[in-house]
Structure 1
Amino acid sequence: MPLAQTENLNVAAFDHMPSPEEIKARVPMTERAAASVVAGRKAIMDILDRKDPRVFVVVGPCSIHDPVAGLDYARRLKKLADEVSDTMLLVMRVYFEKPRTSTGWKGFINDPFMDDSFRIDVGMERARKFLLDVCEIGLPTGTEALDPIAPQYYGDLISWTAIGARTSESQTHREMSSGLSTPVGFKNATDGDLEVAINAIISAAHPHSFLGINNQGQSAITRTRGNPYGHVVLRGGGGRPNYDSVSISLAEQALAKAKLARNIVVDCSHANSWKKPEYQPLVMKDVIHQIREGNDSVVGLMIESNIVAGNQPIPADLSQMKYGCSVTDACVGWETTEEMLRNAAAVLREAKGTQERVA
């Protein structure tokens, strides 16, 4: 009597996926890009260690869907980054993976042609090429780590990593974070719970062993050293923002109680702005004011920004898409982005000048 089939009952196919080694051979690291990555990571670590008094700002599109428009944005951001570099380190937000509550476009890696063909092999190679191009422009990059295998393909081009509100509680993502080469920001849970992020920082700081893949794409036992650069990202939740001075003070107390460094990043988007992009400048203004008034725990901010403000649905005819406009969360436009960052830089310069005169 033949054995009953008991595995892969709901799997339609196993298509070939190139190994990380193959993708890296097609899109190899360059000296200029590597220098950008190393400089970006060191600057962020120095900010977290209080060796660099600047604030880092992760700013860019909610998600990348058009590499041409994305590089257009990157070139604009590089000029602005140089302009405000005395007070802020600008890190380009480069998100390829989008967690969905139910269904929807899952991002550039998963579906690069935006037609449900799900050519992950093509998406991964193009994502790596885009990151390489941004790093060659001279910008550090930040992304959200969603798929635990993906960092093997492009993690060498990332300077800062976020773990999202839906995955900060995930053991898989905490273990993965313990082995990442970048500082990692853990977001509070969607209900606003901060303990999830604090436990994630503690967990990721310790060594772990777990199932992963190596550079050749083979299953491997991944053994990590632990990541000492975990920190909290406040993004609001539970029906209210949490960037106000009281919420930040409570976060400081929670970090101190857990014997963790008081490093806080504020996400100006998501629940902190009620997902209304026009509120992001108000959030940033408030937080920068807190820094000017003496807050020393806020080390960074996040902004969802694009060339064109707002967002758009993905049309059946992709040629009808608006250039430089988000297809996921709505963003502030480029002019507003410039204004937000220049205003913040001016306030931080003023605060720095005041501190030097008092000293």
Structure 2
Amino acid sequence: MRPIGIIANPASGKDIRRLVASGTVFSNQEKINIIVRAILAMDAMGVERVVIMPDPSHMAERVIKKLRSRLSTTCVEVLELPYLLGTWQDTVQSVGAMRDLDCASVVVMGGDGTSRVAAKASDDMPLIPVSTGTNNVFPQLVEGTLVGLAAAAVATGAVASGAACARAPRLELSIDGEFRDIALVDLAVVDAANTAARAVWDPLAIKEIFLTCVSASNIGLSAIGGFLPGVEIGEDEMLHVTLGDGGLEVMAPIAPGLLSRLSVTSYEKVRSCEVVRVSNRSAMVALDGEREIAILDGQDADIRLSRRGPVVVNIHKALRLAVASGNYCRDLPQSFAVA
């Protein structure tokens, strides 16, 4: 049986948006509790091996300690890595190592940014993004026990991976013709000044936004598109929004508890075959809510929508298929009838 990987970002749910907005502080202890519940569910369904990403706060070791003498079939290990940096590169390195171990899936605990980093190394290995961050558009908000059951359904073969998974889109950034990075939900071009905090929270700093999804039920920069009247985009479309003085005033929740009024000068749907050149120079590019890359004066930055994003397990669909296959029933009498 193929193992299941677990990535838990110790830094998720703790950035500046707890100070400038009303974001929930998601403690590492709560992340540990979620992992414990997920593994108990995996154990109940016969999963044989789970590997957890190491981190400087030793969450993996604390999970193993809490699970001592509580598991019957599952062996839980700390993933072996040659080194730890205490940065996003630990996630990339861990996902790559889990891919080399041929993990059936990897549970990724964090926000949109954590999912983005994991997707940089996942290739065709399915991810199960679970919400423990700030802007949680990409991760699924599901109780840990159900996360474990869904991961187990795929790992044990109760549900075919292809039946419960779908490939997500991604935004691709190129500078002067060279591919640089990706975003899964939103890519924003922001003012290069005041970059002490990586998270984007000041609406006046935002110049352009590219979105893979728009919904009025989202929190974060993608909510700006969701609160534009009558805007819907298809699977092969992104939304390009330009902001500036004298535009349509739109109010949107760009962070938990932070409702901002923004001036939208234009917006358009863009198909996946098209490339959009960023109009702003000397700016920063924020990927899924965090400033990452500078556009220097004289450089050309291009954005396109791609269908080469990560493979994602739909937790609700996996559970529904597992139930339909009778995976949670035993010794069903022949006389048993379903009404």
TM-score, normalised to structure 1's length?
0.24
Pick the structure with more helix per residue. 1
The higher relative CO (CA closer than 8 Å, separation ≥ 6) is in 2
